């Protein structure tokens, strides 16, 4: 693709002119809540420099997104103090606003935009960012520029929906060398001074420190029953520690043991990737460098991080608002489900029984316990988790709803393109027809016996039982 490393990442989502007498350029960090390796931030700096303006970064967190709870809020807030330090270091302003309840302002973005030259934000094909990027450009009155810093090979490189890893893999492999390079971050020409903040928002900024996060969360009108993860602490430093541990200890075992949950050979980076606290580009570059230095083969890991993850982004972009629906499945999946819709289910559980990990199956209950306490499930057992929800729900739609809801409420990496793509994978997306059987029809089936043959189920069940 083009010579500029940013050109193919950018979409200008309206035709509004820049504000002539602006005080700053505004970067709205919706999904990529980080300063390092962030193409959108780099592009915002470019615009600021070109117009001799400083840069203000706005990040918000509201009480009223669906299933907002202590776990998700805490993880996001844990990243905020570091972001503040980093932005101060590069000379950008930072405005973090926590809308704790209905009395808090819900138009802070618009108030900040009233003094801005233009807005740069994250191009992201799911969750709130996707609907913001559809609605806000028409209302904001200044250029609204969405930049893809989520994928290594930009989403814009793919002009249509791919039907499987086998179609997107060759394109990604061909284009990857051009994009697998560090983000060039220009120095800011004009440093930020707080006097530039509009008077009507200046006092609204939420000061977040490591020691006040619990109190801030407690004061929010959100679901306090979902506690912070027992495993994951948010923030770029925590993400980088995890990446380094992965390089030191796990990467060499990944190809052999990533399908063995009890061996803990995977990276555990999905929550950080989801909230953009680390970029997949930074991870891929570090993995590539480490593999070269230590003569390791990282292909299996990069297949997941780049090919599978970017296939999910491609799917989400083209599925649009149907991303969480069975309607977007290939015809063979819909046909086979229609044929088996009335098959008797061997066990039936309510959403509440699933949620409480109260099935007859100790392995399934352990996977759900991992979700309840850690906020993720090991990738291999996550497939089993999804397949069994299909098998034990009255209808396919019920199964889909249960999976999405459990992710919305408990998963730190939920509401991601990966969430919807992989949940729908359980219903045949990006897969192929298998042998016909009850309930699943031609959808791939997974059995407890298979899990016992291939993995150490007893070790995992024991480990999850002692998780606190």
Ligand X SMILES: Cc1cc2nc3c(=O)[nH]c(=O)nc-3n(C[C@H](O)[C@H](O)[C@H](O)COP(=O)(O)OP(=O)(O)OC[C@H]3O[C@@H](n4cnc5c(N)ncnc54)[C@H](O)[C@@H]3O)c2cc1C
Site for ligand X, rule CB under 6 A? 258, 266-270, 273-274, 304-305, 308-309, 312, 379, 382-383, 386, 407, 411, 413-414, 416, 418-419, 422-423, 426
Work out how close the CB of 380 gets to ligand X at its nearest, in angstroms, rounded to a whole number. Answer: 8
Cα-based distances in Å from 327 to 84, 319, 396, 408: 43, 10, 12, 20
The CB-nearest residue to ligand X is 379
In whole angstroms, the minimum distance from the beta carbon of 328 to ligand X comes to: 16
Given phi > 0 = left and psi -120 to 50 = alpha, else beta, which region is 442? Answer: alpha
Mark 310-347 as b/e (b = at least 16 C-beta within 10 Å): bbbbbbbbbbeeebbebebbbeebbebbeebeeeeeee
**Nearest-approach distance from CB 422 to ligand X, in angstroms:** 3
Burial string for 429-458 (b: 16+ CB within 10 Å, else e) reads: bbbeeeeeeebbbbbbbbeeeebeeebebe
Structure tokens belonging to residue 325: 């629906």
- For residue 224, the 8-state DSSP code is T
Residue closer to ligand X, measured from CB, 94 or 232:
232
Q: What is the DSSP string of 149-192?
A: -S-SS-GGG--S--SSHHHHHHHHHHHHHHH-SPPP-PPPSS--
Q: How far is the CB of 425 from ligand X (least distance, A)?
A: 6
* CB of residue 281 to ligand X, shortest distance in Å: 12
Nearest to 23 by CA among 196, 192, 191: 196
CB of 438 to ligand X, least distance (A): 21
With contact defined as beta carbons under 8 Å apart, do 156 and 9 qualify? yes
Contact 99, 252 (CB under 8 A): no
- Which of residues 32 and 270 has its CB atom nearest to ligand X in the complex? 270
Least distance to ligand X, CB of residue 387, Å: 8
Closest to ligand X by CB, 290 vs 308, is 308
Nearer to ligand X, 91 or 379 (CB): 379
Cα dihedral 304/307/309/312 (nearest 10): -140
Judged by beta carbon, residue 115 or residue 270, the one nearer ligand X is 270
- The least distance separating ligand X from the CB of residue 204, rounded to whole angstroms, comes to 32
**Of residues 422 and 442, the one with the C-beta less far from ligand X:** 422
Rounded to whole angstroms, the Cα distance separating 7 from 91 reads 25
Rank residues 193 and 454 by Cβ distance to ligand X and give the closer one: 454
Maximum Cα–Cα distance for the chain, whole Å?
A: 68
Closer to ligand X at the Cβ: 206 or 258? Answer: 258
């Amino acid at each position: 693709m083009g010579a500029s490393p940013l050109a193919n990442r950018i979409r200008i989502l309206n035709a509004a002119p820049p504000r002539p007498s602006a005080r700053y350029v505004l970067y709205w960090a919706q999904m990529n809540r980080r300063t390092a390796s962030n193409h959108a931030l780099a592009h915002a700096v470019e615009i600021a420099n070109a117009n001799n303006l400083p840069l203000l970064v706005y990040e918000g967190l509201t009480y009223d997104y669906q299933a907002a709870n202590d776990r998700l809020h805490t993880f996001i807030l844990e990243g905020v103090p570091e972001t503040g330090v980093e932005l101060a270091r590069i000379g950008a302003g930072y405005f973090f606003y926590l809308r704790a309840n209905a009395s808090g302002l819900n138009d802070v973005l618009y108030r900040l935009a009233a003094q801005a030259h233009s807005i740069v934000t994250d191009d992201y094909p799911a969750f709130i960012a996707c609907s913001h990027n559809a609605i806000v450009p028409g209302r904001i009155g200044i250029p609204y520029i969405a930049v893809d810093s989520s994928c290594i090979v930009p989403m814009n490189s793919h002009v249509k929906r791919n039907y499987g890893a086998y179609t997107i893999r060759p394109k990604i492999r061909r284009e990857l060398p051009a994009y697998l390079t560090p983000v060039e971050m220009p120095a800011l020409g004009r440093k930020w001074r707080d006097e530039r903040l509009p008077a009507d928002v200046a006092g609204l900024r939420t000061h977040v420190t490591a020691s006040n996060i619990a109190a801030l969360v407690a004061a929010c009108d959100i679901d306090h029953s979902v506690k912070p993860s027992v495993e994951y602490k948010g923030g770029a430093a925590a993400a980088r520690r995890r990446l380094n541990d992965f390089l030191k200890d796990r990467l060499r075992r990944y190809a052999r043991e990533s399908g063995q949950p009890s061996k803990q050979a995977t990276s555990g980076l999905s929550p950080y990737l989801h909230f953009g606290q680390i970029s997949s580009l930074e991870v891929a570059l570090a993995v590539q460098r480490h593999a070269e230095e230590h003569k390791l083969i990282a292909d299996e890991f990069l297949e997941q991080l780049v090919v599978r993850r970017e296939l999910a982004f491609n799917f989400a972009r083209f599925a649009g608002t149907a991303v969480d629906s069975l309607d977007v499945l290939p015809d063979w999946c819909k046909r086979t489900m229609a044929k088996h819709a009335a098959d008797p289910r061997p066990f039936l559980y309510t959403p509440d029984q699933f949620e409480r990990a109260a099935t007859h199956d100790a392995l399934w209950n352990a996977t759900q316990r991992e979700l309840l306490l850690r906020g993720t499930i090991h990738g291999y057992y996550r497939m089993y988790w999804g397949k069994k929800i299909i098998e034990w729900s009255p209808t396919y739609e019920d199964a889909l709803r249960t999976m999405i809801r459990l992710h919305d409420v408990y998963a730190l990496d939920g509401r991601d393109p990966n969430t919807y793509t992989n949940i729908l994978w359980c219903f045949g997306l990006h897969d192929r027809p298998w042998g016909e059987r009850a309930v699943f029809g031609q959808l791939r089936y997974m059995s407890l016996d298979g899990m016992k043959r291939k993995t150490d189920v007893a070790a995992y069940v024991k480990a999850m039982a002692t998780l606190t």
